[in-house]
Amino acid sequence: MAIGDNRFILLLVAGCIAFFSSARFAWCQELEPRTYSNTPTGVNVLSVGYAYSSGNVLLDPTLPIEDLDGNLNIAMLGYVRSFALMGRNAKFKAFVPYAFGDWKGAVEGVPADRNAQGFGDFRLKLDWNFYGAPALDSGAFPSWQQKTIVGGSIQLVTPTSDYDSDKLLNLGTNRWAIRPELGVSRRLGNWTLELIGAVWLFGDNDDFFGGNKLEQDPIYIAKGHIVYTLRPGFWIGLGLGYGRGGQTAVNGEPRATEQENLRYGIVVSYPLNKQHGISASFASAENNGVGAEFDSFALRYQYAWGDF
């Protein structure tokens, strides 16, 4: 592969920020293709985008809302930096959404609705491919070929968004959350197969809906992706995820809110040149009980710069 052509691979970093799930606030199995791909070190990617979701889409899907119908618009800003960590490839990611939407539903049989807009919770993420993905600069990267990569990541959600404890529906959750994850990626010609396991761990919301205390059990997640690369930087990915758990308790009293969610999606990433790229995605979610159930579309633009 020629070095000039290989520069398109720098846009694969942007694929790590092109999440299938547009409803990024929903605690569920977020589908993120190419998280465990190798990239040259010293590359930065800025991503901006727009997403629209409709259906039973909640910022916190554990809330006791009946017959919910909502529309959610999200403007997204993300940043990725690739670097070396103990001789292996790593990526730092930051993401902030600005959302506006409207919802109609019922709380214990009483009709309720709300319009809201503002920033969602700020997220930080660290990916580290500790096996099969050496840290390489742009000069050494073109000769490297992927076989099997094993890696892990940890994502932190901070309670930094707009929150009103007098409202049941909010743009943020007023609590910390963390998601450790392990994944394996295997390249077979133009195909890449990925298998991932993760768990969401939640802090408490001590100011939930009028000053109550909301607690939540972990949500356990399994995900799989199939990615086909047409040429460097131009690829199509399919994803499927399953999540279960997350029962909540209010003031120590358990609620019937255990989740069982299925999510699937498709994403297309296309490089315009060595620094600019675009991606488009569709995702859908179904649940058995509580949890998000929606259709979602997203478009993103990515700009790469750095050591290449």
Q: Are 181 and 155 in contact (CB under 8 A)?
A: yes
CA distances from 163 to 27, 104, 138, 209 (A): 17, 19, 44, 10
- Which residue from 274, 283, 267 is spatially nearest to 303, judged by alpha carbons? 274
pLDDT of residue 14: 46
Instruction: Determine the CATH number of domain 3-306.
Output: 2.40.128.130
Bridge partners for 297 per DSSP: 52, 282
Distance of CA 15 to the CA centre of its chain: 11
How much is the pLDDT for 60? 61
The closest alpha carbon to 226, from 179, 186, 271, belongs to: 186
pLDDT at 7: 45
The 10s digit of each residue's pLDDT in 226-270 is 999 999 889 999 999 999 998 889 899 998 888 888 999 999 999
Residue ranges, the chain, pLDDT below 50: 1-11, 14-27
The pLDDT, as a whole number, for residue 288 is: 78
For 155-176, write each residue's pLDDT tens digit. 999 999 888 888 877 888 899 9
pLDDT at 20: 42
Q: Which pLDDT does position 294 carry in this prediction?
A: 83
Q: Which of 93, 92, 97 is nearest to 24 (CA)?
A: 97
pLDDT of residue 286: 85
Residue 28, pLDDT score: 53
pLDDT at position 59: 55
- pLDDT score of 56: 76
pLDDT reported for residue 252: 94
